[in-house]
Structure 1
Amino acid sequence: MSEALLPPVADEDGAPFWEYAARGELRVQACAEPDCGELRFPPRPCCPHCGSFDSEWRRMSGHGRIWSYVLPHPPLLPAYAAQAPYNAVVVELLDAPRIRLVGNVVTAPDAPLNSLDPARLRIGAGVKVAFTELADGVTVPRWLLER
């Protein structure tokens, strides 16, 4: 288990995302209206495309590309200073290109946030999801570089 310096807070709409993550599944909310089916993230009660309140959670492959990244200098929050330099990335999912998730690229699921040499990060680099259980019992997706 890793230390949770700033653990995520699940709201009613996003709770299923965290429940699936705890099972090692990356799922994204989708409109359940047969004529729509649009994926949406962050989760919300109503489809922004058709207005339907019906939704489902679709399993994603867990593969993506680094769309953007930053190395906070100094760390954004003082509690993260011991882990600097660490990365914060935006990952675009391969099977849902309009869906982008924020996280960290690490060398192993339970590795510290500063485990990856920042020189290895590149826009467009392939990544795959890995799940890490934080000290407070919440499981978060992190990302591993694909070789």
Structure 2
Amino acid sequence: MSSFGARLKALRLSKGLTGLELGEILNVSNKTISTWENNTREPNQEMTSAIAKFFNVSTDYLINGTTSPAFKPTLSERDERDIQKRLELLMNDLDSETGLAFYNGDGEMDDETRELLRASLESALRITKLKAKEKFTPNKYKG
């Protein structure tokens, strides 16, 4: 079974990083990275969480060496722009004369209801985007 240090080194190498580069990213010295990879020391809980977040794996994977790192898709800036664009299109469609007829029987929707609907649609778009990334990301990129 591999150690914390071996898992950290494998993750670092998978990103093509040197110990110095990883140290700069995590705001620690190259020597600190080396002590972790050589199992001389282990990072504290806060740093372990930061490492897991950076490599997009679970802390359980880092600490206990579960069989594979948990892949957690994240949204890029492009994804965020796409979500906002789609949300605006949906909201504009709903604001049309016929768009909300199903909701309020030809009446205007109040601002509070509109914001609740907007928040719900945005949440649904985010979940959909994350699920699609999880489903369609090739295994070779999942860690």
Q: If each structure's helix is expressed as a fraction of its own residues, which one has the higher value?
A: 2
TM exceeding 0.5: no
Q: If each structure's strand is expressed as a fraction of its own residues, which one has the higher value?
A: 1
TM-score (normalizing by structure 1): 0.21
Whichever of the two has the greater Rg, that structure is 2
TM-score (normalizing by structure 2): 0.22
Q: Which structure exhibits the higher relative contact order, with contacts defined as CA atoms closer than 8 Å and separated by 6 or more residues? A: 1
